[in-house]
Amino acid sequence: MSIIFNEKTKTITLHTKNTSYQMKIGNLDYLLHLYYGPSIPDEDMSCLIMQYDRGFSGNPYESRSARTFSLDAQPQEFSTQQQGDFRTSSIEVVNSDGSYSFHGKAVNYKISKGKYQLSTLPSVFAGRDDTADSLEVTLCDVVSNIQVTLLYGVFEEADIITRAVKVTNHGKNPVYLKKIMSMCLDFLNGSDLDLISLPGRYGQERQVERQAMTHHIHNIGSVRGSSSHQQNPFVILCDREAGEDYGRCYGFSLVYSGNFLAEAELDQYDQLRFVMGINPKQFLYELKPGQVFECPEVVMAFTSHGFTALSHLYHDFYRTNLCRSKFVSQVQRPVLINSWEAAFMDFDDVKLVEIAKAAKNMGVDLLVMDDGWFGKRDDDNSGLGDWFVNETKIKCGLHKLVEQINDLGMKFGIWFEPEMVSEDSDLYRAHPDWAMEIPGRHAVRSRNQIALDMSRRDVQDYLIEKVNAILDDANIYYVKWDINRSLADIWSNALPPEKQGEVYHRYVLGLYRVMDKIILTHPDILFEGCSGGGGRYDPAMLSYYPQYWVSDNNNPIDRLKLHYGTSFVYPTCTMGAHISDSGRFVPLETKAVVAMCGTFGYELDATHLSKEELAICKEQSQRFRKYYHITFKGDFYRLTNPFQMGNMTAWQHVTKDKKESLLSVVVTNLTCNGPQEYIRAKGLDADAFYSINGGPQIRSGSSLMNAGIPINREVPEYSAFQFHLVRQDEA
């Protein structure tokens, strides 16, 4: 069993293959956090907590005259409220008498085999071959009879620990949750830690920023109704000197698609508290007697071996324990061409068939009909919500169009934006109350569309019915599910005024229900997520979609940074990446090399390509398939940092058995008469020998990793190289 309770010391220790995590039912039954890091024996680590009078610190009433015990200095598993702890809180409850207090003490625990499950939210799962155990620790406030159940999932081989929280009202009166975090982790000393996050903006998502912890509260979060372009629900706390290959790194990844918050506070004693969960802005959730509130899950990982090792833990775990789609591992993803940049909304069935015929000569497997096929939709000012085929454009009907594409030997895909409505639409005219608009106020428009109130059951049922009818009408192989604005005007006409603080979260729950009824009921369809590009790229979305569109920005040079930042937590097999006309001065070969870091496809008008260009694209499609087993299933290494000055950006995929590798390089900043550049490989077998691109040169793994590969300087700017390394005993 990977979870051990010591009756004598009252410690609970969680063990994975390489890590240990320990808590203790300590003084006055407060649940104290003791340790998270490299594996240790089952010893009581409470010796690390030094008790002394802090001076004017609040002491729990039960401690009587013992001034050495203050919750303002104790490392807690889940902090209390109004009990002398003035640091950032894990919970804020408004009790029925109007008081703000939660005095949680440990009352029981439960250890069980297997992974706990959440009933209202997506979460990771244990596979058939996983060793997974669960822990529940219940904290109770004896006055209000509010119980907080702390959930822990321990994946032994994966070196992963998950955390979640359930709040149950066992009292006689309703209470309100103003803030409820999914986890709290207190470090006894965090003054030497840095915080790494993935901020950005539309078209430049998941850039990488690193900051030293200072004596402030560092906030990372979103209040845009989704995990957002601007932030991502992933944070690393690491040693000041940590790099790709060395240093302690703690990762925290929230499985949630709505407003989120991560707070890291370095306190007066250099202790660091980290909390993560639903953002409390405009959040006020009523909990009636007997009701339970579930918080989203946090996936935690620790390594002493730097960012690469941390990324590998998340990549391996998310590939196997997050999304149940057969397209994760059982079915090879297709090479697709999307109609958007080829025709935007100016197309008909004849144009689509012409694009498909040309794309067939590019080695493309799948044609995707993007925005513009439904309702009255000639621009982005109308039609959203009217999910019926516009037969003025698709004159032959959807079923016949799909048959024509299938007859070419290609698959067919389609675009939806279910969560939005246009004011100029049949749906809005029939149900204006379904839109998110505050009564008496004009709605904030974005892309001339308004969000549907996904918290409403009737809205959910409408979308389930309409989208499923389209999917069941024809042989559809792929769906791109988009959302192209942030939420504003948060209001539900189906809820009374006192429950409007629940709308943000109820929206997300409603969305998950719709996805359950559409995506999970169509296991043979490949779904790809999109949010104006990468504006909702999070683990909860990836529990439904095996892939997500990284960004609407297809410029391959910008993509180097986009892929780099995304790869810190998300495996490259989830990264939607295509070749387009963006980056006109970048060679087609370089665009292909960059796109092969993801799912690979095209966003261009194939009918405008020359025979030579079609042949080049066909070879690229074939090359993507050739290397698929390396790029989709292997380990990923960031060889250079595109955010730092340098002439090259390089990355590498290596198969798990180290028999093959694909090393990719893009020349980004050639300087006149500059020095010779060398790219050092990683992840190879040092004692083995490898051929390079099938040529006569044979080099040892040790020399490739320590001396590197010389990169030709006599090339045009933005040139790219790929080095296929094959171990010689397998060549």
pLDDT in tens, 481-536: 999 999 999 999 999 999 999 999 999 999 999 999 999 999 999 999 999 999 99
pLDDT value, residue 253: 99
**Looking at the structure, do residues 437 and 522 belong to the same domain, yes or no?**
yes
**Looking at the structure, do residues 379 and 312 belong to the same domain, yes or no?**
no
Helix (H, G, I), strand (E, B) or coil at 730: helix
Instruction: List, in order, residues 6 or more apart from 162 with CB less than 8 Å away.
Output: 115, 123, 124, 151, 152, 153, 155, 297, 298, 299, 300
Tell me, rounded to whole angstroms, the distance of Cα 502 from its chain centroid: 23
**Looking at the structure, do residues 80 and 60 belong to the same domain, yes or no?**
yes
Residue 5 predicted with pLDDT over 60: yes
Is residue 678 within a helix (H) or strand (E), and if so which, with residue range?
Answer: strand 677-679
pLDDT value, residue 673: 83
Q: What are phi and psi of 306, to 5 degrees?
A: 90, -175
pLDDT value, residue 62: 84
Residue 348 predicted with pLDDT over 60: yes
Q: Dihedral of CA 539/602/560/709: which sign?
A: positive
Which residues form the domain of 691? 639-730
pLDDT tens, position by position, 183-223 = 999 999 999 999 999 999 999 999 999 999 999 999 999 99
Instruction: Give the pair of three-digit tokens for residue 321.
Output: 């324990």
pLDDT value, residue 583: 82
**Looking at the structure, do residues 604 and 686 belong to the same domain, yes or no?**
no
**Looking at the structure, do residues 469 and 570 belong to the same domain, yes or no?**
yes
**Looking at the structure, do residues 90 and 104 belong to the same domain, yes or no?**
yes
**Per-residue DSSP letters for 104-156?**
-EEEEEEEEES----SSS------TT--EEEEEEEEEETTTTEEEEEEEEEET
> What is the pLDDT averaged over residues 349-364?
98
Last residue of a domain, one of 274, 293, 321: 321
0.95 surpassed by pTM: yes
pLDDT value, residue 66: 81
Instruction: Give the pair of three-digit tokens for residue 436.
Output: 């998110």
Domain of residue 496, CATH code:
3.20.20.70
Is the distance from CB of 502 to CB of 241 less than 8 angstroms? no
**Looking at the structure, do residues 632 and 654 belong to the same domain, yes or no?**
no
DSSP bridge partners of 153: 134, 162
**Looking at the structure, do residues 298 and 341 belong to the same domain, yes or no?**
no
pLDDT value, residue 57: 83
Confidence band, pLDDT 50/70/90 cuts, at residue 474: very high
What's the rounded Cα separation, in Å, for the pair 661 and 651? 11
Instruction: Give the pair of three-digit tokens for residue 300.
Output: 């935690």
Q: Is 510 buried (19+), middle (13-18) or exposed (0-12) by CB count in 10 A? A: buried
Last residue of a domain, one of 636, 654, 669: 636
The residue among 488, 516, 479 whose CA lies nearest residue 420 is 488
**Looking at the structure, do residues 512 and 621 belong to the same domain, yes or no?**
yes
Residue 259 predicted with pLDDT over 60: yes
> What is the pLDDT averaged over residues 635-658?
96
Residues in the chain: 731
Instruction: Give the pair of three-digit tokens for residue 601.
Output: 């496809």
Instruction: List, in order, residues 6 or more apart from 586 with CB less than 8 Å away.
Output: 555, 556, 557, 718
Domain of residue 280, CATH code:
2.70.98.60
- Convert 475-494 to b/e letters by CB count within 10 Å (16 or more is b): ebbbbbbbbbbbbbebbbeb
The sheet carrying 635-638 orders its strands as: 635-638, 648-654, 660-667, 720-727, 689-692, 698-700
Instruction: Give the pair of three-digit tokens for residue 132.
Output: 């997974």
**Looking at the structure, do residues 726 and 660 belong to the same domain, yes or no?**
yes
With a pLDDT cut of 70, the percent of the chain lying above it is 100
**Looking at the structure, do residues 611 and 710 belong to the same domain, yes or no?**
no
pLDDT value, residue 572: 98
> What is the pLDDT averaged over residues 297-315?
98
First vs last Cα of the chain: how many Å apart? 43
Last residue of a domain, one of 273, 295, 321: 321
pLDDT value, residue 324: 95
What's the rounded Cα separation, in Å, for the pair 117 and 99? 32
Average pLDDT score over the chain: 96
Domain of residue 678, CATH code:
2.60.40.1180
Indicate the range of 386-395, 462-471, 663-672 predicted with least confidence. Answer: 663-672
Which contacts (CB < 8 Å, 24+ apart) does range 691-694 have?
A: 691/725, 691/726, 691/728, 691/731, 692/723, 692/724, 692/725, 693/722, 693/723, 693/724, 694/724, 694/726
Q: How many CB atoms lie within 10 A of CB 518?
A: 22
Indicate the range of 295-304, 310-319, 658-667, 670-679 predicted with least confidence. Answer: 670-679
The residue among 667, 679, 670 whose CA lies nearest residue 704 is 679
Is the distance from CB of 277 to CB of 260 less than 8 angstroms? yes
Instruction: List, in order, residues 6 or more apart from 97 with CB less than 8 Å away.
Output: none
* Residues designated as active site: 538, 613
Up-side HSE of residue 169: CA atoms within 13 Å toward CB? 20
pLDDT value, residue 730: 59
Q: How many domains does the chain have?
A: 3
Confidence band, pLDDT 50/70/90 cuts, at residue 55: confident
> What is the pLDDT averaged over residues 366-375?
98
> What is the pLDDT averaged over residues 321-342?
96
> What is the pLDDT averaged over residues 555-565?
97
Radius of gyration of the chain (CA): 27
Instruction: List, in order, residues 6 or more apart from 56 with CB less than 8 Å away.
Output: none
Is the distance from CB of 258 to CB of 278 less than 8 angstroms? yes
**Looking at the structure, do residues 600 and 691 belong to the same domain, yes or no?**
no
